[in-house]
Chains A and B, each alone.
Chain A
Amino acid sequence: MGKTVLVIAEQKDQKLRQVSLEALAAARQLAGDGGNIVSVLVGGHVDAAAEQLADHDQSQVVCVAADTLASYDAERYFAAVQPVVDEVKPDVVILGHTASGRDLAPKIACHLDAGQVSDVVAIEGTGAEVTFKRPIYAGKAFETKRFLAGPWVVTIRPNNLQADAKTGAAAPIVKRPYADPAPIRTQVVNVQSKSGDTRDLTEAKVVVSGGRGVRSAEGFAPLAELAELLDGALGASRAACDAGYCDYSLQIGQTGKVVTPDVYIACGISGAIQHLAGMSQSKLIIAINKDGEAPIFDIADYGVVGDLFEIIPKLTAKLREKIAAVRS
């Protein structure tokens, strides 16, 4: 017997987020033979993302759109999905473990009086034997979990599961009306886009990260230039954030963000255990540090003992030349 799975999909800038396709693939695995998948999309304008989603095989795509849903707000978004949850009566609800997914999922789990497994990086098995692997201690260890009773609520970490590929389906799109719940107790009164902070650190394929060795806010400039050239994101160690060189939103570590890019370039970072927890699952690690004894070299695939202010600009120049040569 298959399961009924509800995917709470997400969009950004009116495009379907990649993690929602990963959630859809997970839904397919959990639904099993004879299962049933419904997606729901909430936002200000969701038509474009809904079309994209409906191209993937499923029972229906439910859209809840309203001007008051343009910006994520827990109270309103829950009010938008709750009627869908109640109607679909899902065996499983899947969300991305994103800023909004991790915020909304516990409300849905509580509403269903359900257990939840958060931040899942792998799903193994099918049917009742399914297990979910997730990091604990920011990836210093991994635990495997199993549900003892339904319904199930699961959030999946972006960039870890395969995205759904069952396209060309034209699933029906169903629009649902939305009205604010009364009373509304939280209100987003202002939204400001952070300038120069375009790429999400946790989704970047390349991260250039600076530590105490960067020595100042200005010292981050060559790192930012390298990150930009590689279409990557800028990160930092706790020491650099505490010293005021950069914003806490850049911090990578057990406090801060956990990143798993293709390439992680650690500049002037000694490699405290709390930092390593946040980046040691990166595919390739490059470390640049003056201190040849720094612990970061114990986990780096390639190490350079030297002055980052000499190496980084030279590296950026070389890369620029080589990239230009390829493109010409």
Chain B
Amino acid sequence: MKKGTRIRAQWGVLPVAAFLMAWEVIARLDLIPGQLFLPAFSTVMGELIRLTAAGVLTDHLLRSGIRVLIGFCAGSVAGIAIGIVMGWNETMNRTLHPVFSLLYPIPALGWLPLLMIWVGIGEMLPILIIFICSFFPILYNTVTGIRGVSRDFIKAAKTLGASDIRILMTVLLPIALPNIFTGLRLEAGMAWRVIIAAEMVAIPTGIGALMMKAESLMRIDIIIICLMILSIVCFSIEKLFLYVEQRLTKEWR
């Protein structure tokens, strides 16, 4: 790590440490009325270790993670594939765009009651919600990325002997990659936010469900643990996509 980057990273840690210390002090000194509802940071950490050792946390996190992974991957693949077709072919774009334009604004969680009836309450439900949540934004980012590539690049590739499929693979997709990655990065975080909501409402397992159980038992420490885990997971996934995107496009952008 370069010196400047290390210093900046250290500066980022300081406010977080200050916040955690303030939290600990406020909770310990009973500075807020009704401190019953605010466990100290150290208490929360203790519970985190206990839940992890018992395998409860890992189990719920894994279940949520697998749902997100399947739904997000399926939604991304479908979004990118149909996005490529729409971006490449004007007729397909004109045909599909009006339909998707009507479906896109519906919030992913809005589909929940309908899907509960159509597919029932089971593993398919959160996966489908994540699919819908990922599909539309990634589709639109892909279409925008492909259609944003100057037509002159296509002409140049044609005169150099490239077939349509090779133009797509060697020119359009690589140049549209930053746009596609922006969609993936934003939606990977969004998928976690949506899965939690879905699990809170309709699914008995997963981090969302754990939070709802904790709420009914007044276990504020567990709720806080779940929120902290979500924050770390969303942050890490976004950083991971950013890193991959930069690795792939940094040199020429």
Chains A and B belong together in one complex: no
